[in-house]
């Protein structure tokens, strides 16, 4: 199948590559860009393991064609920490509050939580639960994930107040 | 021992050993997207495999035409059973003593069965070619009702074994019969039933479900033709067993096979078995000489690999009018699908289902199980439970409630009356298990107090009265469960898989500068072994957990072990870890004695060092001892500080717990709100409370999924239903309630550190607690039992049947 040129920004880096138009964004990121953080857990856009950030919105990259990401700004789990390696408060909170077990949903979950806290910096527990309801976790029962996101929200608001 | 000082406390805390809520060492990579799961593996020249699958539940294959598929640019090969036959690989042995078709041999026996394996340059081309393989079928009548499997006119499913009268577990009574297995004294139970003041009987079905880990199954096979070595990376919960099986079926010597389990994205029993994809990928790599990746998608996962449950259990209880239970009789019709691929210890075709007397002192019991073939996917794995233990717990916990209704007795009171008493441990059950330890009444009473049980029942009485007056359309249900698990398989004397004893292992190397590497025969799938097993060792050998690297999952480096499932890691490999640590300490003591110029017997262990009794100033820390082990010639001792332990457990461990669930059901919609859930778990010694709680949260959420919505069913012609995430219920954060956790601690007397295992208890106890709550909501309207899953539609149907809907 013929390939077309795709251009986008991934984690702040300009990317230009040839890809079949039918290539799914998740496969492009994982196999062409070697960004294997986001995962594939289903093919019906239910599980959210493939969640990445596209132009400021959480999307399930298993149901986005690479062509639909033409010119887009994309952030994946690999782009959440600071360049010097300092973890984002959401990443820190997941570890501190045991918000992950097998780790397979974690990249999608953290990428979603990172966006959620930008959309709603002070979410209630209910808002968090609805806000991550597109991301399935089979290990944790969500309780510690919710706690982690609450803790990250508090941490971020302290940091913002200090700035 | 020394007086407790703050310096001692500081040294203990520095170790982060037993009892510490140590943060997980795994999380640094997982939170940054740096995990390494099988689908992340990328090797030069790697090709992709994908399956052509059967659209029919039961059909004869007339022809397979590969031409169009092979003509697609980028397609390298299309394998069928005919290609595997010369290698004798078209069938593979199952863990249950049956064989399973790797690629369908003349017939397909379940929808989505593997028919052909396409190998292509990438997954897109492979998928294109899958659509172009033309298979002609003659459809046959499908058998989907287990109750009709042994009818005289039931279709013959397994042509390949139709003349085989003797199965792996004794005689077969019918061409669709797999085995009959029984335990206990049926005559005595029948007498107890005949003499009983009260009896109850109920058919309790536990529907077919699926473990559905978020990562599906997959592998990368790579045959190095120069060195004759096959490497297989994959989602394996038991890498060494896979190596042995792979060697037996391929005739590649075991030392030339390397199995690697990289990070695994959840297992829950799904990744214990050997699947056709693994065999096909390995064969394709042997044939092509390049690495082959096979990763199933979610629909393939749910419909072809490893279902769980599908047990139809008829229970009968005999009791006195005061509630004393005098006997249990149970017959199980077990639907095993098209091939018997159950993952049980070989001598236990129904797993440990004979733990079905549960937490109760039942004097006589009998259980009989008949396994049958149907046109459904093979599997029968232990989905987050020890082998068939959740089925057993569901049976007895439901039956106790059924008996309580009949006696018009409170279900909590009936449980308290029949629970095994503390002084009866070690307790030998009527079906032959020796329960190691327990304090059931303390757990049950603590649970009832914590939820304020009396107040809940009073509220329920008011709710029922208000409902009858027409003031509310909501009914309140209270579900109780007191479960006993049996985990840690297991003693070699009665537990093996294909002849491999179910011991486990740990190898420790202490390095000269006082850090350590430990390798185990198990493999974590999210349980946090690298964190917790280092904690066990930290306490045993006095090296901080942060200075201990733990490795699992690579058969070239790890000692032989039987893997991680059935909550066996802590009871078996955890014990091996402690025992290997003690061997290290024993040698360290000899070294310390030499260095301190005293007799070994004059030394005592203190946190991280050996010190002279009565003179703690004279001491050598493990760090100092480690260096000496490598730089001094000590008379009578070999240099180095290493140990290995293969641990054959003397007994299983028996975790237990008491759960209480409260639900509110809207009778007009069937919507069931989980108002609260309290879970008290006793898993013996607690290694890492944070991780234990996380395990309980996760297990309860899986129990919620099973009890309230999960089902893989088949229509009358064998079409699978519930085989994708649109239809198969996985709870989101919205449906999942808050979990209130609690514990008691009753150590196992035979485990080196007293631990029992915890990961599966919440599934075992959770399912009956939910189900009992739903049944309880309607109990006053005459309901004794309604089948799971309790999804909104079924709950509404129940309300309708009872005449409660508008």
CATH number for the domain spanning A58: value is 3.10.20.30
Q: Do B665 and B790 belong together in one domain?
A: yes
Q: Do B524 and B597 belong together in one domain?
A: yes
Residue where one domain finishes, among candidates A42, A57, A79: A79
Q: Do B743 and B600 belong together in one domain?
A: no
Helix orientation angle between B761-777 and B389-407, rounded to the nearest 10 degrees = 30
Overall average pLDDT of the B106-115 stretch? 98
Of A110, A138, A143, the CB nearest to B739: A143
Overall average pLDDT of the A78-91 stretch? 96
Q: Do B619 and B509 belong together in one domain?
A: yes
Q: Do B613 and B534 belong together in one domain?
A: yes
Of A41, A91, A94, the CB nearest to B215: A41
| pLDDT score at B4 | 63
First CA to last CA across chain A, in angstroms?
Answer: 52
Q: Is A132 a member of any domain?
A: yes
Of B46, B21, B519, B527, residue with least CA distance to B263: B527
Active-site residue identified among B280, B385, B495, B661: B385
| pLDDT score at B689 | 98
Residue B760 among the catalytic residues: yes
| pLDDT at B254 > cutoff 70 | yes
What is the per-residue pLDDT across B203-231, written as a single tens digit (0 to 9) for each? Answer: 999 999 999 999 999 999 999 999 999 99
Active-site residue identified among B172, B243, B316, B384: B384
Quote the CA–CA distance of B501 and B507 in Å, as a whole number.
18
CATH number for the domain spanning A98: value is 1.10.150.120
Q: Which residues in B296-412 belong to E strands, given as ranges?
A: 307-319, 325-335, 365-372, 379-381
Of B298, B726, B732, the CB nearest to A133: B732
What contacts B4, CB < 8 A, 6 or more positions away? Answer: none
| pLDDT score at B14 | 96
| pLDDT score at B565 | 87
CATH number for the domain spanning B238: value is 3.90.1170.50
Give the mutation candidate from B24, B44, B125, B214 for the A interface (greatest A CB count, under 10 A).
B214
Overall average pLDDT of the A122-126 stretch? 98
| pLDDT score at B112 | 98
Q: Do A71 and A97 belong together in one domain?
A: no
Overall average pLDDT of the B663-670 stretch? 98
| pLDDT score at B248 | 87
Q: Do A68 and A103 belong together in one domain?
A: no
Helix orientation angle between B761-777 and B689-708, rounded to the nearest 10 degrees = 40
Q: Do A72 and A10 belong together in one domain?
A: yes
Of B214, B528, B694, the CB nearest to A49: B214
Contact yes or no for B93/B346 (Cβ under 8 A): no
pTM beyond cutoff 0.95 = yes
Q: What element of type H or E holds B59? A: strand B59-65
Q: Which residues pair with B53 in a beta bridge?
A: B114
Q: Do B472 and B535 belong together in one domain?
A: no
Q: Do B667 and B771 belong together in one domain?
A: yes
Q: Is B283 a member of any domain?
A: yes
Overall average pLDDT of the B544-572 stretch? 93
Q: Do B593 and B734 belong together in one domain?
A: no
Phi, psi of B178, rounded to the nearest 5 degrees: -100, -50
Q: Is A146 a member of any domain?
A: yes
For chains A and B, CB pairs below 8 A equal: 174
Residue B405 among the catalytic residues: no
Q: Is B523 a member of any domain?
A: yes
Q: How many domains does chain A have?
A: 2
Residue B384 among the catalytic residues: yes
Q: How many domains does chain B have?
A: 3
Distance from B380 to chain A by nearest Cα, in Å? 20
Cβ separation B123–A27 shorter than 8 A: yes
| pLDDT at B674 > cutoff 80 | yes
For residue B738, which residues of chain A lie inside 8 Å, CB to CB?
A: 143
Q: Is B415 a member of any domain?
A: yes
Overall average pLDDT of the B103-124 stretch? 97
Q: Do B733 and B782 belong together in one domain?
A: yes
What contacts B765, CB < 8 A, 6 or more positions away? Answer: B393, B481, B482, B483, B657, B658, B659, B679, B681, B703
Task: Measure Cα distances from B249 to B88, B246, B265, B360 in Å.
Answer: 8, 5, 27, 44
Distance from A160 to chain B by nearest Cα, in Å? 23
Q: Is B597 a member of any domain?
A: yes
Structure-derived torsion over alpha carbons of residues B636, B639, B640, B643, reported in degrees to the nearest 10: -30
Q: Do A53 and A9 belong together in one domain?
A: yes
| pLDDT score at B461 | 98
| pLDDT score at B2 | 47
Distance from B284 to chain A by nearest Cα, in Å? 22
Q: Is B175 a member of any domain?
A: no
Residue B158 among the catalytic residues: no
What contacts B408, CB < 8 A, 6 or more positions away? Answer: none
Q: Which domain holds residue A109?
A: 89-162
Q: Do A10 and A34 belong together in one domain?
A: yes
Q: Which residues pair with B180 in a beta bridge?
A: B370
Q: Is B494 a member of any domain?
A: no
Q: Do A120 and A145 belong together in one domain?
A: yes
What is the per-residue pLDDT across B20-54, written as a single tens digit (0 to 9) for each? Answer: 999 999 999 999 999 999 999 999 999 999 999 99
Q: Do A102 and A126 belong together in one domain?
A: yes
| pLDDT at B1 > cutoff 70 | no
Q: Do A70 and A9 belong together in one domain?
A: yes
Q: Do A98 and A74 belong together in one domain?
A: no
| pLDDT score at B401 | 98
Q: Is B158 a member of any domain?
A: no
Q: Do B477 and B512 belong together in one domain?
A: no
| pLDDT score at B559 | 95
Of A42, A95, A134, the CB nearest to B27: A95
Q: Which domain holds residue B607?
A: 2-35+504-647
| pLDDT score at B532 | 96
Q: Do A72 and A93 belong together in one domain?
A: no
| pLDDT at B418 > cutoff 80 | yes
Cβ separation A101–B698 shorter than 8 A: yes
Residue where one domain finishes, among candidates B647, B672, B693: B647
Residue where one domain finishes, among candidates A47, A79, A111: A79
Residue where one domain finishes, among candidates A13, A47, A79: A79
Distance from A39 to chain B by nearest Cα, in Å? 8
Overall average pLDDT of the B523-528 stretch? 92
Cβ separation A38–B34 shorter than 8 A: no
Q: Is B563 a member of any domain?
A: yes
Question: Where does the pLDDT of residue B628 fall: very low under 50, low under 70, confident under 90, or very high at 90 and above?
Answer: very high
Cβ separation B725–A42 shorter than 8 A: yes
Q: Do B24 and B43 belong together in one domain?
A: no
Question: Where does the pLDDT of residue B163 fall: very low under 50, low under 70, confident under 90, or very high at 90 and above?
Answer: very high
Cβ separation A101–B526 shorter than 8 A: yes
Q: Is A154 a member of any domain?
A: yes
Q: Do A137 and A109 belong together in one domain?
A: yes
| pLDDT at B494 > cutoff 90 | no
Q: Do B527 and B666 belong together in one domain?
A: no
Nearest CA in chain A to B730: A136
Distance from B736 to chain A by nearest Cα, in Å? 7
Question: Where does the pLDDT of residue B67 fall: very low under 50, low under 70, confident under 90, or very high at 90 and above?
Answer: very high
| pLDDT at B531 > cutoff 80 | yes
| pLDDT score at B3 | 53
Q: Is A84 a member of any domain?
A: no
What contacts B13, CB < 8 A, 6 or more positions away? Answer: B20
Q: Do A75 and A10 belong together in one domain?
A: yes
- φ/ψ region of B171 (left if φ > 0, alpha if ψ in -120 to 50, else beta) reads beta
């Amino acid at each position: 199948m013929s390939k077309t040129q795709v251009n986008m920004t991934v984690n702040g880096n300009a990317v230009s590559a040839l890809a079949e138009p039918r290539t799914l964004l998740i496969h492009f990121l994982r196999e062409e860009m070697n960004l294997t953080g986001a995962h594939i857990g289903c093919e019906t856009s239910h599980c959210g393991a493939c969640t990445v950030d596209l132009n400021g919105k959480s999307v399930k990259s298993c149901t986005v064609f690479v062509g639909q990401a033409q010119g887009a700004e994309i952030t994946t789990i690999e782009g959440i920490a600071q360049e010097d390696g300092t973890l984002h408060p959401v990443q820190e909170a997941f570890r501190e509050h045991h918000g992950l077990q097998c780790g397979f949903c974690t990249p999608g979950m953290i990428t979603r939580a990172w966006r959620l806290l930008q959309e709603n910096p002070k979410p209630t527990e209910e808002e968090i639960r609805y806000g991550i309801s597109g991301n399935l976790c089979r290990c944790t029962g969500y309780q510690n994930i919710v706690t982690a996101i609450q803790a990250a929200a508090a941490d971020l608001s302290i940091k913002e107040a200090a700035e | 021992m020394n007086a407790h000082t703050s310096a001692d406390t500081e040294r203990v805390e520095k170790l982060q050993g037993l009892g510490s809520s140590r943060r997980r060492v795994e999380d640094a990579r997982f939170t940054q997207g740096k995990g390494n799961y099988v689908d992340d593996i990328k090797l030069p020249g790697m090709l992709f495999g994908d399956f052509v699958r059967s659209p029919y539940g039961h059909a004869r294959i007339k022809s397979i035409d590969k031409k169009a598929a092979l003509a697609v640019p980028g397609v390298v090969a299309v394998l069928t059973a005919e290609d595997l036959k010369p290698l004798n690989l078209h069938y593979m042995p199952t863990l249950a003593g049956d064989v399973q078709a790797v690629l369908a041999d003349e017939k397909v026996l379940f929808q989505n069965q593997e028919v052909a394996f396409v190998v292509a340059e990438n997954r897109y081309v492979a998928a294109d070619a899958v659509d172009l393989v033309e298979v002609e079928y003659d459809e046959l009548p499908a058998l989907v009702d287990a109750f009709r499997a042994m009818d005289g006119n039931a279709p013959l499913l397994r042509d390949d074994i139709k003349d085989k009268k003797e199965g792996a577990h004794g005689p077969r009574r019918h061409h669709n019969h797999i085995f009959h297995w029984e335990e206990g004294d049926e005559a005595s139970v029948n007498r107890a039933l005949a003499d009983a003041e009260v009896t109850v009987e109920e058919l309790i079905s536990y529907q077919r479900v699926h473990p559905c880990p978020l990562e599906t199954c997959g592998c990368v096979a790579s045959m190095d033709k120069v060195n004759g070595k096959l490497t297989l990376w994959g989602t394996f919960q038991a890498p060494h067993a896979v190596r042995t099986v792979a060697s037996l079926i391929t005739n590649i010597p075991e030392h030339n096979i390397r199995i690697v389990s990289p990070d695994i994205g959840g297992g829950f029993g799904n990744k214990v078995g050997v699947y056709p994809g693994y065999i096909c990928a390995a064969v394709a790599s042997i044939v092509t000489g390049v690495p082959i990746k096979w990763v199933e998608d979610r629909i393939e996962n749910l419909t072809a690999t490893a279902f769980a449950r599908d047990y139809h259990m008829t229970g009968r209880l005999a009791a006195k009018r005061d509630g004393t239970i005098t006997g249990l009789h149970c017959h199980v019709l077990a639907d095993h699908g098209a091939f018997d691929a159950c993952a049980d210890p070989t001598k236990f075709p129904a797993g440990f289902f004979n733990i079905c007397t549960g937490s109760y002192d039942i004097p006589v019991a009998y259980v009989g199980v008949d396994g049958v073939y149907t046109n459904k996917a093979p599997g029968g794995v232990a989905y987050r439970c020890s082998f068939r233990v959740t089925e057993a717990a569901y049976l007895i916990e439901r039956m106790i409630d059924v008996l309580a209704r009949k006696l018009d007795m409170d279900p909590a009171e009936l449980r308290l009356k029949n629970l095994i008493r503390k002084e009866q441990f070690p307790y030998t059950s009527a079906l032959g298990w020796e329960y190691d330890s327990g304090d059931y009444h303390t757990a049950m009473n603590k649970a009832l107090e914590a939820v304020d049980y009396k107040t809940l029942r009073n509220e329920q009485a008011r709710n029922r009265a208000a409902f009858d007056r027409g003031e509310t359309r909501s009914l309140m249900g209270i579900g109780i469960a007191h479960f006993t698990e049996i985990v840690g398989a297991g003693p070699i004397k009665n537990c093996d898989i294909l002849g491999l004893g179910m011991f486990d292992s740990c190898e420790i190397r202490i390095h000269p500068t006082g850090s350590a590497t430990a390798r185990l025969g198990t493999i974590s799938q999210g349980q946090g072994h690298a964190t917790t097993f280092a904690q066990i060792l930290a306490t045993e050998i006095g090296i901080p957990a942060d200075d201990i690297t733990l490795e699992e999952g690579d058969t070239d480096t790890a000692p032989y072990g039987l893997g991680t499932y059935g909550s066996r890691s802590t009871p078996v490999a955890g014990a091996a870890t402690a025992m290997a640590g003690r061997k290290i300490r024993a040698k360290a003591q000899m070294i310390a004695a030499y260095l301190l110029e005293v007799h070994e017997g004059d030394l005592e262990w203190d946190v991280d060092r050996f010190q002279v009794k009565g003179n703690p100033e004279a001491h050598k820390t493990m760090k100092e001892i480690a260096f000496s082990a490598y730089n001094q010639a000590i008379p009578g001792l070999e240099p180095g500080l290493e140990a290995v332990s293969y641990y054959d457990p003397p007994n299983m461990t028996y975790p237990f717990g008491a759960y209480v669930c409260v639900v509110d059901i809207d009778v007009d919609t069937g919507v069931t709100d989980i108002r609260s859930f309290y879970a008290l778990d006793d898993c013996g010694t607690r290694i890492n409370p944070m991780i234990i709680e996380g395990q309980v949260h996760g297990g309860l959420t899986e129990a919620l999924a099973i009890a309230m919505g999960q089902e893989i069913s088949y229509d009358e012609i064998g079409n699978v239903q519930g085989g994708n995430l649109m239809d198969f219920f996985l709870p989101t954060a919205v449906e999942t309630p808050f979990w209130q956790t609690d514990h008691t601690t009753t150590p196992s007397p035979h485990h080196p550190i007293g631990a029992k295992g915890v990961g599966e208890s919440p599934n075992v106890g959770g399912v009956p607690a939910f189900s009992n709550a739903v049944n309880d909501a309607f109990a006053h309207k005459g309901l004794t039992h309604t089948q799971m899953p309790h999804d909104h539609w079924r709950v509404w149907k129940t309300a309708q049947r009872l005449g409660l809907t508008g």
